[in-house]
Amino acid sequence: MKKINIPNEDAINIGSFFLRVACALMLVHGWKKLSNFSEMSANFEDPLHVGNTVSLALTVFAEFFCTIFVVAGLFTRIALLPLIFSFIVIIFVVHAHDPFKDREAALMYLLIYLATFYVGPGKYSLDNLLRK
Protein backbone atom coordinates (compact mmCIF):
# COMPACT_ATOMS: atom_id res chain seq x y z
CA MET A 1 0.00 0.00 0.00
CA LYS A 2 1.41 3.36 -1.02
CA LYS A 3 1.90 6.05 1.60
CA ILE A 4 -0.58 8.86 1.55
CA ASN A 5 1.09 12.05 0.35
CA ILE A 6 0.71 14.73 3.02
CA PRO A 7 0.61 18.16 1.36
CA ASN A 8 3.50 20.46 2.09
CA GLU A 9 3.16 24.04 3.26
CA ASP A 10 3.08 25.44 -0.30
CA ALA A 11 0.21 23.14 -1.23
CA ILE A 12 -1.75 24.28 1.82
CA ASN A 13 -1.11 27.94 0.96
CA ILE A 14 -2.23 27.39 -2.64
CA GLY A 15 -5.32 25.54 -1.40
CA SER A 16 -6.10 28.42 0.94
CA PHE A 17 -5.78 30.84 -1.98
CA PHE A 18 -8.23 28.79 -4.05
CA LEU A 19 -10.70 28.66 -1.16
CA ARG A 20 -10.59 32.45 -0.95
CA VAL A 21 -11.07 32.74 -4.73
CA ALA A 22 -14.09 30.40 -4.46
CA CYS A 23 -15.57 32.89 -2.01
CA ALA A 24 -15.60 35.46 -4.83
CA LEU A 25 -18.67 33.74 -6.26
CA MET A 26 -20.67 35.40 -3.49
CA LEU A 27 -19.89 38.83 -4.96
CA VAL A 28 -22.52 38.23 -7.64
CA HIS A 29 -25.23 37.81 -5.00
CA GLY A 30 -24.00 40.74 -2.93
CA TRP A 31 -23.75 43.04 -5.95
CA LYS A 32 -27.31 42.15 -7.02
CA LYS A 33 -28.59 43.12 -3.60
CA LEU A 34 -26.46 46.27 -3.41
CA SER A 35 -27.43 47.52 -6.88
CA ASN A 36 -31.15 46.87 -6.23
CA PHE A 37 -31.13 47.94 -2.60
CA SER A 38 -34.05 50.37 -2.71
CA GLU A 39 -36.28 47.94 -4.64
CA MET A 40 -35.45 44.98 -2.38
CA SER A 41 -35.49 46.63 1.04
CA ALA A 42 -39.24 46.68 1.56
CA ASN A 43 -39.73 42.95 0.96
CA PHE A 44 -36.43 41.51 2.18
CA GLU A 45 -36.59 38.70 4.76
CA ASP A 46 -36.20 39.87 8.35
CA PRO A 47 -35.25 36.73 10.32
CA LEU A 48 -33.55 38.66 13.14
CA HIS A 49 -36.46 41.09 13.57
CA VAL A 50 -34.31 44.19 13.07
CA GLY A 51 -36.27 45.51 10.08
CA ASN A 52 -36.20 44.65 6.40
CA THR A 53 -33.82 47.46 5.46
CA VAL A 54 -31.36 46.65 8.26
CA SER A 55 -31.48 42.94 7.38
CA LEU A 56 -30.73 43.75 3.75
CA ALA A 57 -27.92 46.14 4.75
CA LEU A 58 -26.32 43.48 6.95
CA THR A 59 -26.63 40.92 4.16
CA VAL A 60 -25.05 43.30 1.64
CA PHE A 61 -22.27 44.06 4.11
CA ALA A 62 -21.52 40.36 4.48
CA GLU A 63 -22.07 39.18 0.91
CA PHE A 64 -20.36 42.06 -0.87
CA PHE A 65 -17.98 43.96 1.38
CA CYS A 66 -16.80 41.10 3.60
CA THR A 67 -16.35 38.93 0.52
CA ILE A 68 -14.00 41.51 -0.98
CA PHE A 69 -11.88 41.37 2.18
CA VAL A 70 -11.86 37.56 2.16
CA VAL A 71 -10.86 37.31 -1.50
CA ALA A 72 -8.06 39.83 -0.96
CA GLY A 73 -6.99 37.99 2.15
CA LEU A 74 -7.29 41.12 4.28
CA PHE A 75 -8.61 40.66 7.84
CA THR A 76 -9.74 37.30 6.51
CA ARG A 77 -10.95 35.54 9.63
CA ILE A 78 -12.74 38.65 10.93
CA ALA A 79 -14.41 39.19 7.54
CA LEU A 80 -15.56 35.57 7.49
CA LEU A 81 -17.53 35.88 10.72
CA PRO A 82 -20.46 37.87 9.21
CA LEU A 83 -20.53 35.50 6.24
CA ILE A 84 -20.60 32.42 8.46
CA PHE A 85 -23.32 33.96 10.62
CA SER A 86 -25.36 34.98 7.56
CA PHE A 87 -25.29 31.51 6.10
CA ILE A 88 -26.17 29.84 9.37
CA VAL A 89 -29.24 32.12 9.46
CA ILE A 90 -30.03 31.42 5.80
CA ILE A 91 -29.80 27.65 6.22
CA PHE A 92 -31.35 27.17 9.65
CA VAL A 93 -33.81 30.09 9.90
CA VAL A 94 -34.79 31.58 6.53
CA HIS A 95 -34.92 28.24 4.68
CA ALA A 96 -35.39 25.97 7.68
CA HIS A 97 -38.56 24.36 6.31
CA ASP A 98 -37.42 24.17 2.69
CA PRO A 99 -36.25 20.90 1.17
CA PHE A 100 -32.54 20.14 1.39
CA LYS A 101 -32.01 20.81 -2.33
CA ASP A 102 -33.07 24.44 -1.77
CA ARG A 103 -30.47 24.84 1.00
CA GLU A 104 -27.68 22.95 -0.72
CA ALA A 105 -25.92 25.96 -2.30
CA ALA A 106 -26.01 27.89 0.97
CA LEU A 107 -24.57 24.88 2.77
CA MET A 108 -21.73 24.68 0.24
CA TYR A 109 -20.91 28.35 0.80
CA LEU A 110 -20.98 27.82 4.57
CA LEU A 111 -18.57 24.89 4.27
CA ILE A 112 -16.19 26.96 2.11
CA TYR A 113 -16.31 29.77 4.68
CA LEU A 114 -15.68 27.39 7.57
CA ALA A 115 -12.77 25.73 5.76
CA THR A 116 -11.28 29.13 4.94
CA PHE A 117 -11.70 30.24 8.54
CA TYR A 118 -9.99 27.05 9.73
CA VAL A 119 -6.98 27.16 7.37
CA GLY A 120 -6.62 30.93 7.42
CA PRO A 121 -5.68 33.31 4.62
CA GLY A 122 -2.41 31.59 3.75
CA LYS A 123 0.83 32.93 2.41
CA TYR A 124 -0.69 34.51 -0.71
CA SER A 125 -2.79 37.14 1.06
CA LEU A 126 -2.68 40.74 2.18
CA ASP A 127 -2.83 39.50 5.78
CA ASN A 128 0.51 37.80 5.20
CA LEU A 129 2.01 40.97 3.73
CA LEU A 130 0.84 42.99 6.75
CA ARG A 131 2.47 40.54 9.16
CA LYS A 132 5.88 41.14 7.60
Over residues 31-83, the pLDDT tens digits come to: 999 999 999 999 999 999 999 999 999 999 999 999 999 999 999 999 999 99
Please give the pLDDT value at position 113. Answer: 97
DSSP 3: P
Claim: this prediction has a pTM higher than 0.85: yes
Alpha-helical regions (H) of 93-132: 100-119, 126-131
pLDDT digits (tens, 9 = 90+) for 6-20: 668 888 899 999 999
Which residues does 19 contact at the CB level (< 8 Å), separation at least 6?
Answer: 112, 115, 116, 119
Q: Is the pLDDT of residue 1 over 70?
A: no
State the Cα–Cα distance between residues 26 and 116, nearest whole angstrom: 14
Predicted pLDDT of residue 121 = 94
